[in-house]
Amino acid sequence: MTPFFNMSDSPRKTVLTCAQPTGNLHLGNYFGAVRNWTSYLDDHECFFGIVDQHAITTPYVPAELRQSVYRTLALYISCGLDPSRCHLFLQSQITGHTELAWILGCLCPLGQLERMTQFKEKSQREDVGFVGAGLLFYPVLMAADILLYNADVVPVGEDQKQHLELCRDLAIKFNATYSNTFRVPDVAIPKAGARIRSLQSPDKKMSKSDPNQSGCVYLLDPPEVIRKKIMSAVTDSSREIRASAEKPGITNLLNILSASTGQTVEALEAAHDGLAYGEFKAVVADAVIACLAPIQARFAEIGEDRSYLDNVLKEGSEVAQKRAYRLLSKVYRKAGFIERSR
């Protein structure tokens, strides 16, 4: 039986997900992640965190981090994470994430952290240079991010599945060691279809760390840049507009068009049958530009408005902090810590 404990006052289920403040999102991040998060806004209590404490596990520049947090926040709001319908918070502004991570860390087998795929990959990357203990501890902090809010559902990409398994293991272990405290969260991974590929190498996913940046469309790319990138997408030598394994470039463009317009790939294949590839690419470019236009317009309004963005964080953090304190004080009591008098 799954250990279960409902700490929430709210009848709605809680969704929580977090992302590092990269300051830039591409079509893959939007169609594969952020846009799906907006589907929870109506019937869930939603917490969306920007995890700046995770962002310091590899070398970084402090002033750039601050800038990236504001840009990421503004992008999320522009993508539809409406602050009046969800709690947008900044990890470092909430007391509880690192505190809970310490307690969970004391329950976490070292070997499980050393076996994490992301740790192995990142610690071997040459550009990382120095491997700090924070990189190893990262998944424990991530578990704390989730458990601190007793989340029911955590939408993440496939690459985070192993971290979520650890989170569930730690919740179960804490509950068994002390007593039922944490809800064991469910993981929501989008269907494989949500994977957007690089326009230049359609065998690889669209990624901001791809050295060939012309294969990656950013949400804030100006229309002429979007058009140029899509018009030079790699395709194949036939002229059939059909999704299939032998046609990864056209398949990717069909998927992008489908995600941009809401029409099925089958309907799009039928609608564009007989078009030359250049004409089809122009259709895709128009659709992507139209899909991103409202996001870009909203970003132009709020992207530089620090007082608005600070206020969003203030309001989000107030709710998040209240919830975090409630859980943390319960955990402290169970762990045998003496309650502090304020």
- Given the rule CB under 6 A, which residues bind ligand ATP? 19, 22, 26, 28-29, 32-33, 156-157, 159, 194-196, 205-209
Q: Is 46 helix (H, G, I), strand (E, B) or coil?
A: strand
User: Which is catalytic among the residues 161, 173, 191, 208?
Assistant: 208
Q: Is 17 in the site for ligand LTN (CB under 6 A)?
A: yes
Contact with ligand LTN (CB under 6 A) among 14, 15, 18, 312: 18
Helix residue ranges per DSSP H, 158-273: 161-177, 223-231, 248-261, 265-271
Question: Closest distance between ligand LTN and the C-beta of residue 39, in Å?
Answer: 16
Q: How far apart are CA 133 and CA 212, in angstroms?
A: 31
Give whichever of 166 and 285 is closer to ligand LTN, judged by the CB atom.
166
Cα radius of gyration (the chain): 22
Catalytic residue list contains 205: yes
Q: Is 146 in the site for ligand LTN (CB under 6 A)?
A: yes
User: Which is catalytic among the residues 13, 122, 173, 334?
Assistant: 122
Contact with ligand LTN (CB under 6 A) among 51, 88, 256, 268: 51
Q: Which does 196 bind (CB under 5 to 8 A by kind): ligand LTN, ligand ATP, none?
A: ligand ATP
Question: Closest distance between ligand ATP and the C-beta of residue 236, in Å?
Answer: 20
- Please give the single-letter amino acid code of residue 100: L
247-254's contacts with Cβ under 8 Å and 24+ in sequence apart are 248/197, 248/202, 248/203, 249/199, 249/202, 250/277, 250/280, 251/202, 252/196, 252/197, 252/199, 252/202, 253/280, 253/281, 253/284
DSSP state of 171: H
The footprint of ligand LTN (CB under 6 A) covers 17-20, 51, 54, 142, 145-146, 154, 156, 160, 163
Which residues are designated catalytic? 122, 205, 208
